[in-house]
Structure 1
Amino acid sequence: MENVKDLNSKPLTVKQYLVVSSMLFGLFFGAGNLIFPIHLGQLAGAHWGLATVGFLVTAVVLPLLSVLAVSVTRSEGVYDIGRPLGPAFALVFMILIHATIGPLFGTPRTATIPFSVGVQPLLPSNLAHVGLFVFSVLFFGAAFLVSYKESNIMSSVGKILNPVFLVLLFAVFMLGFLSPMGTAAKQSVTTAYQHASFFNGFLQGYNTMDALAGLAFGVTVVTAVRQLGKTSAKSNAKVTAKAGLIATSMIGVIYVGLIWLGATTLGRYKVSADGGVAFNQMFTHYLGGVGHALLATLLTVTCLTTAVGLVAAFAQDFHKHFSKVSYRQWLAFMCLASFLTANFGLDQILLWSTPMLMFLYPFAMALILLSVFSPFFKRDPVVYAFVVVFTAVPALLDMVAAFPPVVSQSGFGKALAAFQQDTLPFASLGMDWVVPALIGAVLGLGIHFLKPVFAGRRVVTSEHVNVK
């Protein structure tokens, strides 16, 4: 791709940038991006401001960095981000990322959240399973049709679905700001957020899965930008980075509003079990039955845009590396697998997704940061290897601690938790991977920058021997 010239040598217009940014926004912003911030606002109460800052780091800054990582390294997907550690690691990392945000957890969630929050409350309890089955068939059928032609993704998401979503969301914000349920700064604060609001907000940002999704969406965004004629690596990366900045800035503004709205709901309601319940309460308060219909529409539209991005990215990446199976065959497999997982229900998906996120996020954050700063050490595999190896142990311990009680509260789980809390700094905050990763970075960078010195000494020594 380095020697390829742009088919379109002219700068993109503002409208074209907005379409790409709108597409990226739509791919990132799903139902989880609506319900988790609202729930965070309820949990943080009066401390919503500091919790918001922590949330924005993992839910906005990190996804932006993931887009920049794709741009800086001129990658086309998750595989290229892990490539410095060898093809085997890159392939395993790609499969784990796509499995997590794809058929195992992320993509099924795009169907179960709008159903659980918007549709299920309207159905008799005995029809819940049948309702989920029918809804998920229609939902993933629509996702398959929209992404069937790769060239349709940008126009469908960027020009149609996403603007509809933004109009609906603007209506929600107007209601909340014009007639708030309470004063956010005066609401009660849950125990966990009384002394660690920032770090708890930081960990809540994991639930959006956007840092992982940003890596996976790289191939979709690069393909879309190529369709605008920016086919060289340099110009494609430049457009991707600018579009990413616009999209994530929009998302950040929405997050601040949603977290504030969540805190204000405490003026009328208690802390809910999840953000979906809080969202439902808010709509019912302002609009009654009409509000519920609007909520169902809003969630379905925003989830469909994210589902389209996830299934397309999965199919594009897997077709690239397993080319005997076509893009459309991978797409069909992804939609079918996501449909099957979705029918286990939202509660089971959320229960088992947390351990995988606690395991993958430290690796993703480390690789994203390494990619962004890779020009300073020429993507030296030694630096990558030290950071990833040192990150592996705390990531595994975090995964075990996040498992359901059948694992985390077993004798084995308790023993690992005790070792983790006693040995690793910041373990109680869920940040125990930071110090090991930094140690790995220092060692790796030290070796990288000292290699020329040792190489020079070997040359001098051999020359000295030859002279003798």
Structure 2
Amino acid sequence: MVQLFLLSHLILQLTINIYFTINQSKVIDYIGKLLTPFLLVMLAVIIIKGIIDPIGEFTTSNISNPFGKAFSEGYQTMDALASTVFAGIIIKALRERGYDRVGEKINLTIISGLIAALGLLFVYGGLMYLGATASTLFTGEIGKTALIISIVEKELGNFGKIALGLAVSLACLTTSVGLTATSAEYFSRLTKNRIGYKSMVVIISIFSAFIGAFGVEKIIKFSVPILVSVYPVVIVLILMNTFDSFIKNNRSYAYATIFTLLISVVDGLSAAGLNLNKIYDVIYYLPFAREGFAWIYTAFFGILLGMMNSYFNKALKKENG
């Protein structure tokens, strides 16, 4: 019965995803005007109820490095990864709406980014608060999915589970619509339109539904090592692009990526279950390493190395005339 329900849900999700994605020009409207508002309403109901009427009390955490753990757990949201993809959708939508000047696009992108950041702050901050209020009610052995379901059920009963189900479905749908549209456009261009956008939408949607059949916990278990390896690089590149006017050379990007990967890949392999204690004995000499942020130091080292390399190359060229 459970398998039949899962199959039905996947088929429904697949159909809805294709429906919202197949019309490329309408993707941003569907996400911004329809899906996201409903998602935020559902989450707001859950979070505000939990703040007004907490289900429990705060307690001292027994986690040795709560910030580092929470930060790395946040990789699973894939927000930073998705933002690099969704940026293309937003910029394209701005162009289609007549915002051709660079200044206009920058201003509107900044505004949309701030709105998104505030929304994420409310959602994740609220969910963290709910989790904190439930810390005396559940043991650390409970799974992520079971935890959020249990919290919402204690808050709002069966209605809470329905609201959570709608929120999760909408969250997945908004992400899948955006990623499907962007991926379909990319692979369509990559194949020089031998496989059209609409055909690629169907292919990607079917593949996604197949992956979804494995369930949340298995998907997370599989994806965590990949995310741990890739996410620090994405964060570094986003920050470097933000301050690109101060960097002004490509070598810094290359070196920062390489030196960040040296650490993040080790973390990823460790997350996959490999015993790398001897390597960590060396890594722990780096600043922030025990908190899980050794890649920050190596990224800065890569940036500085790239800037120095660029400076000396320019000096040599100038000297040689």
TM-score, normalised to structure 1's length? 0.64
Superposed displacement of residue 431, structure 1? 1.9
Q: Aligned with 2:214: secondary structure? A: coil
Whole-Å separation in 1 of the counterparts to 2:254 and 2:218: 34
Counterpart among 211, 229, 233 of residue 363 in structure 1: 233
C-alpha contact 2:43 2:164 (8 A) present in aligned 1: no
Unmatched tracts of structure 1, length 5 or more: 1-126, 409-413, 460-468
Counterpart among 455, 461, 468 of residue 317 in structure 2: 455
Letter in 2 for 1:249: L
Counterpart among 39, 42, 46 of residue 172 in structure 1: 46
Letter in 1 for 2:125: V
Superposed displacement of residue 391, structure 1? 2.2
Residue number in structure 1 paired with 2:175:
306
Q: Is 2:154 the partner of 1:292?
A: no
Q: Aligned with 1:230: secondary structure? A: coil
C-alpha contact 2:46 2:160 (8 A) present in aligned 1: no
Give the 3 Å change call, closer, same or farther, for CA 295–422 of structure 1 in structure 2. same
Letter in 2 for 1:337: F
Letter in 2 for 1:216: V
Superposed displacement of residue 448, structure 1? 2.0
Q: Aligned with 1:266: secondary structure? A: coil
Counterpart among 45, 58, 63 of residue 191 in structure 1: 63
Q: Aligned with 1:298: secondary structure? A: helix
Whole-Å separation in 1 of the counterparts to 2:7 and 2:16: 14
Superposed displacement of residue 301, structure 1? 2.1
- 1:86-165 → structure 2 map (5 Å cutoff): 127-165=1-39
Identity level (%): 26
C-alpha contact 1:219 1:317 (8 A) present in aligned 2: no
Give the 3 Å change call, closer, same or farther, for CA 173–345 of structure 1 in structure 2. closer
Q: Aligned with 1:182: secondary structure? A: coil
- 1:421-440 → structure 2 map (5 Å cutoff): 421-424=281-284, 425=286, 426-440=288-302
Deviations, residues 138-168 of structure 1 (Å, cap 9, x unaligned): 1021011101112222222211222222222
C-alpha contact 1:421 1:428 (8 A) present in aligned 2: no
Give the 3 Å change call, closer, same or farther, for CA 298–391 of structure 1 in structure 2. closer
Give the 3 Å change call, closer, same or farther, for CA 365–298 of structure 1 in structure 2. closer
Residue number in structure 1 paired with 2:132:
263
Q: Is 2:261 the partner of 1:392?
A: yes
Q: Aligned with 2:99: secondary structure? A: coil
Q: Aligned with 1:363: secondary structure? A: helix
Deviations, residues 232-267 of structure 1 (Å, cap 9, x unaligned): 444223311221111112211222222111111234
Size of the aligned set, in residue pairs, is: 318
C-alpha contact 1:386 1:443 (8 A) present in aligned 2: yes
Whole-Å separation in 2 of the counterparts to 1:160 and 1:321: 30
Superposed displacement of residue 274, structure 1? 3.1
Letter in 2 for 1:201: A
Residue number in structure 1 paired with 2:187:
318
Give the 3 Å change call, closer, same or farther, for CA 134–375 of structure 1 in structure 2. same
Instruction: Considering Cα pairs closer than 8 Å and 6+ residues apart, tell me whether 1 or 2 has the greater RCO.
Output: 1
Letter in 2 for 1:433: W
Q: Aligned with 1:433: secondary structure? A: helix
Q: Aligned with 1:334: secondary structure? A: helix
TM-score, normalised to structure 2's length? 0.91
Whole-Å separation in 2 of the counterparts to 1:421 and 1:336: 44
Letter in 1 for 2:32: G
Deviations, residues 23-72 of structure 1 (Å, cap 9, x unaligned): xxxxxxxxxxxxxxxxxxxxxxxxxxxxxxxxxxxxxxxxxxxxxxxxxx
Whole-Å separation in 1 of the counterparts to 2:115 and 2:63: 36
C-alpha contact 1:397 1:417 (8 A) present in aligned 2: no
- 1:56-67 → structure 2 map (5 Å cutoff): none
Q: Aligned with 1:183: secondary structure? A: coil
C-alpha contact 1:181 1:265 (8 A) present in aligned 2: yes
C-alpha contact 2:56 2:137 (8 A) present in aligned 1: yes
Q: Is 2:315 the partner of 1:445?
A: no
Q: Is 2:100 the partner of 1:231?
A: yes
Counterpart among 319, 335, 354 of residue 205 in structure 2: 335
Superposed displacement of residue 272, structure 1? 5.6
Deviating above 4 A after TM superposition, structure 1's stretches of 4 or more consecutive aligned residues are none
Deviations, residues 207-251 of structure 1 (Å, cap 9, x unaligned): 111111110112111122122211344422331122111111221
Whole-Å separation in 2 of the counterparts to 1:428 and 1:419: 13
Q: Aligned with 1:189: secondary structure? A: coil
The CA RMSD over aligned residues, in Å, is 2.0
Counterpart among 387, 399, 420 of residue 280 in structure 2: 420
Q: Aligned with 1:217: secondary structure? A: helix
Whole-Å separation in 2 of the counterparts to 1:309 and 1:204: 23
Whole-Å separation in 1 of the counterparts to 2:265 and 2:41: 42
C-alpha contact 2:76 2:227 (8 A) present in aligned 1: yes
Residue number in structure 2 paired with 1:374:
244
- 1:11-26 → structure 2 map (5 Å cutoff): none
Residue number in structure 1 paired with 2:55:
181
Letter in 2 for 1:190: N
Whole-Å separation in 1 of the counterparts to 2:243 and 2:191: 30
Unmatched tracts of structure 2, length 5 or more: none
Letter in 2 for 1:418: K
Whole-Å separation in 2 of the counterparts to 1:395 and 1:178: 40
Whole-Å separation in 1 of the counterparts to 2:112 and 2:29: 15
